[in-house]
Amino acid sequence: MTLDTVLDIQNLKKYFSISNGLFAKKTFVKAIDDVSFSVKKGETLSLVGESGCGKSTLAKLVNGLIQADNGKIIFKDRDLTHESERGWRPYRQPMQMIFQDPYASLSPKMKVKEIVAEPLKIHHPNMTKMEREKLVQETLYTCGIGYHHLDKHPHEFSGGQRQRIGIARALVLRPELLVLDEPVSALDVSVQAQILNLLKDLQEEFNLTYLFISHDLSVVEHISNNIAVMYLGDIVEIAAKKNLFEDPKHPYTQALLSSVPNIDPKVKRERIILSGEIPNAASPPEGCKFHTRCPLAMDICKKVRPHMQTLGDGGQVSCHLY
Ligand code: SF4
């Protein structure tokens, strides 16, 4: 962990027990299975993978919404892994979460100015009404919601505007880390670009650190410094964005990337169609969890789980080919 590391995740594990009846043997879904990564101040690490790979569980762990079974969650030198709800309280302000569907978390009866003022009332009870209103107006304006909208209710806004309000509600507390869980997945492509540009501008202006979760590599291309690819609860590759897009190492990353529309005509990518569905997380394949779908699978892949290796360019990959 270096001085400018904001978030350090070490060997994190989260298993959920499931049972198929009163007397049936319990089985465990390894939702997060020994995951490690870190994010430096002012940077964006994107977590990418198909639905069911564990991304959203990871977001909840990082925000203390659920407890880890093992490993460490270190936020700015403080180990928060086993903190109680009370112990987490001082970190609720600097660590904020943004969801895919802001509408679900915006109270329909409240005016926009009240929605954005609410976190200030909780975290800064001594702030005067005037100070609060000024900060709310400024923050909404910075997020692209003008003064004439302050008295409107959530249903009067478009999906993109509602996401701007969700971002303003997080930003009004001037956080250091934003965990963004599929923040643009519900939006049209043109609106996605506007929200991604807003997030990029805010990152620069407020020196924000982002953990950006998405199922779509093309969405994270613009905003990431580093990208971690997840498969069935594991991180299978972490690399700087440029390296990952130009020279993906893991066969799963190669397959994900082959379906991303190519902007650079010099880079030729052949479409790799993966056979089969993502396996059931309750009974993942032995050895490399990807071997049932991997076009390059070897005999060893069926028996031995590969370990994360650090490569010459600083990237990490978990695959027997390296
Ligand atoms: Fe494919 Fe084997 Fe590498 Fe897994 S370890 S990704 S099965 S080549």
Is residue 309 a contact partner of residue 316, using CB atoms and an 8 Å limit?
A: yes
Index of the ligand 1 atom closest to the CA of residue 251: 6
Whether residue 4 has pLDDT greater than 70: yes
Ligand 1 centre distance from Cα of residue 301 (Å):
6
Task: Answer for the pair 180, 200: CB distance below 8 angstroms, yes or no.
Answer: no
The gap from C-alpha 114 to its chain's centroid, in whole angstroms, comes to 27
How far is the centre of ligand 1, averaged over its atoms, from the C-alpha of 33 (Å)? 17
| Ligand 1 touching residue 301 (CB < 6 A) | yes
User: Which residues are bridge partners to 150 per DSSP?
Assistant: none
- What is the reported pLDDT for 49? 92
Best probe residue, ligand 1, of 236, 275, 290 (max atoms within 8 Å of C-beta): 290
How far apart CA 278 and CA 157 sit, in angstroms, is 37
Ligand 1 lined by 300 (C-beta under 6 Å): no
Task: Judge contact between 244 and 237, C-beta under 8 A.
Answer: yes
State yes or no: pLDDT of 260 exceeds 90: no
What residues have CB less than 8 Å from 94, skipping those under 6 apart? 75, 76, 173, 175, 176, 177
Neighbour count for residue 73 (Cβ, 10 Å): 21
Domain ranges of the chain: 5-94+177-184+208-317
Which residues make Cβ contacts (< 8 Å) with residue 17, sequence separation at least 6? 26, 27, 28, 29
- Secondary structure (3-state) at 202: helix
Is residue 54 within 8 A of residue 32, CB to CB? The reply is: yes
**Alpha helices of 181-280 — where are they, by DSSP H?**
189-206, 217-220, 241-246, 251-258
**pLDDT beyond 90 at 138:** yes
Q: What angle do CA 145, 149, 151 make, to 5 degrees?
A: 135
Q: Rounded to the nearest whole angstrom, what is the distance from the C-alpha of residue 231 to the centroid of ligand 1?
A: 12
Name the region of 205 (left: φ>0; alpha: ψ -120 to 50; beta: rest). Answer: alpha
Q: How far is the CA of 40 from the centre of ligand 1 (A)?
A: 30
Residue 293 Cβ inside 6 Å of ligand 1? The answer reads no
pLDDT of residue 211: 97
Query: In angstroms, what is the span from residue 36 Cα to ligand 1's centroid?
Result: 20
Q: Is 306 in the pocket of ligand 1 (CB under 6 A)?
A: yes
Residue 310 has pLDDT above 80, yes or no: yes
Task: Please give the distance, rounded to the nearest whole angstrom, from the Cα atom of residue 187 to the centre of ligand 1.
Answer: 34
Q: What are phi and psi of 68, to 5 degrees?
A: -75, 155
Tens digits of per-residue pLDDT, 191-228? 999 999 999 999 999 999 999 999 999 999 989 999 99
Distance of CA 53 to the CA centre of its chain: 12
Rounded to whole angstroms, the Cα distance separating 218 from 258 reads 11
**pLDDT tens figures, 263-302:** 566 666 778 878 777 888 888 899 999 999 999 999 999 9
**Class of the 5-94+177-184+208-317 domain?**
alpha beta
CA 53 – ligand 1 centroid, Å:
17
Eight-class DSSP state of 295: T
The confidence band for 261, taking pLDDT boundaries of 50, 70 and 90, is confident
Does an H or E element contain 39, and which? Answer: strand 27-40
**Nearest protein CA to atom 7 of ligand 1, as residue:** 291
Q: What is the pLDDT of residue 1?
A: 60
Higher pLDDT, 140 or 56: 140
User: Counting beta carbons within 10 angstroms of the beta carbon of residue 237, is it exposed (0 to 12), middle (13 to 18) or buried (19 or more)?
Assistant: buried
Nearest-CA residue for ligand 1 atom 5 is 319
How far apart CA 217 and CA 269 sit, in angstroms, is 14
Quote the pLDDT of residue 271.
83
Q: Which atom of ligand 1 lies nearest, measured to the CA of 320?
A: 5
- Can you give the three-state secondary structure of 112-123, one letter per residue? HHHHHHHHHHHH
- Which tokens hold the place of 57? 């569980």
Q: Among 294, 300, 307, which residue has the most ligand 1 atoms within 8 Å of its CB, making it the best to mutate?
A: 294
User: Does the Cβ of 116 fall within 6 Å of ligand 1?
Assistant: no
Query: By alpha-carbon position, which residue is closest to atom 8 of ligand 1?
Result: 297
Atom of ligand 1 nearest to the CA of 295: 1
Q: Judge whether 213 and 59 are in contact, CB under 8 Å.
A: yes
Q: Is ligand 1 within 6 A of the CB of residue 249? A: no
pLDDT for residue 120 is more than 90 = yes
What is the residue-averaged pLDDT of the chain?
Answer: 91
C-beta separation of 259 from 236 below 8 A: no
